[in-house]
Amino acid sequence: MNPEIEFREGLDELASHYLEVLKLLGEDPDREGLQKTPMRVAKAMQVLTRGYSQDPHKVLTDALFAEKYNQMVIVKDIDVFSLCEHHMLPFYGKAHVAYIPNGYITGLSKIARVVDIYSHRLQVQERLTQQIKDCIQQTLKPLGVMVIIEAKHMCMQMRGVEKQNAITTTSDFSGAFNQAKTREEFMNLLRGESKRI
C-alpha cells in the first residue's frame, strides 16, 4: 500500500475542518499559498495516522515460520515517527525490539512494521512501547519480549520548556526478560553498535 495514494473515508470533511482552523488562526485561506493547504494537511494527517486502519497482529502472522531457534532476536535502530496525542506534534527516535522465539519466528521486517503501525496513531511514548511488546507477545507467544524506545518530543522542543536536547527513554518487557541477566544481555548488545538519535 502506498500511503500517499490510498486515503481513507472522510478526507474532504477533514480538509473542511482545516479550512476553518486557518480562519480561526487569523489567516486568509483564499490567498495563493494557502488555497490547497487544507487538503494537503488532511492528506498528511491521514498518512501520519494510517496505523488505525492496519492490523499489526496480521502483519506478524502473515510471515510466521516454525523454527527451533530459541536465542535472542534483536531488531534495533528502527526509526520511529509519531504524533503526541496531547499536542499533535511529532516525536521521533529509535525503537529497539528483542524477542526469544518459542517454536516460531517472524520475518524481521515484520517487527519494524509493527513499530510503524502503532507509531502511526496518536500516541504517548509509554503506551507505544507497551503496545509493541504486547502485540509481539500475544501473537508470537515467545519466551519473552523487550522493547526500548528513545525519542525526542517536539512538544518539549518547540513549546513548553523548549529543551531541544532532552531524550525520553521508555522500556517494557515480558517473560524471560524479567530476569536481570537477560535484560543485561540485550542492553550490552544494544550498546555495542547502537547509534544515538
Give me the pLDDT at residue 138, please: 97
Give me the pLDDT at residue 10, please: 95
Write out 137-161 in H/E/C secondary structure.
HHHHCCCEEEEEEEEEEHHHHCCCC
Integer Cα distance of 65 and 188 in angstroms = 28
pTM of structure:
0.92
* pLDDT tens readout for residues 137-194: 999 999 999 999 999 999 999 998 989 899 999 999 999 999 999 999 999 999 875 4
Give me the pLDDT at residue 1, please: 45
Integer Cα distance of 111 and 126 in angstroms = 18
**CB 161, CB 189: distance < 8 Å:** no
The residue whose grid cell reads 544515538 is 196
DSSP-assigned beta bridge partners for residue 144? 100, 175
Active site residues: 84-87, 125, 153, 155
- Mean pLDDT in the chain? 94
Give me the pLDDT at residue 6, please: 81
Give me the pLDDT at residue 194, please: 45
- For residue 101, give the C-alpha cell: 522465539
Give me the pLDDT at residue 98, please: 98
Give me the pLDDT at residue 191, please: 86
Integer Cα distance of 70 and 74 in angstroms = 12
Integer Cα distance of 152 and 180 in angstroms = 27
**Cα separation values, 61 from 78, 105, 116, 138, 146, Å:** 20, 10, 16, 11, 19
Low-confidence ranges of the chain (pLDDT < 70): 1-5, 193-197
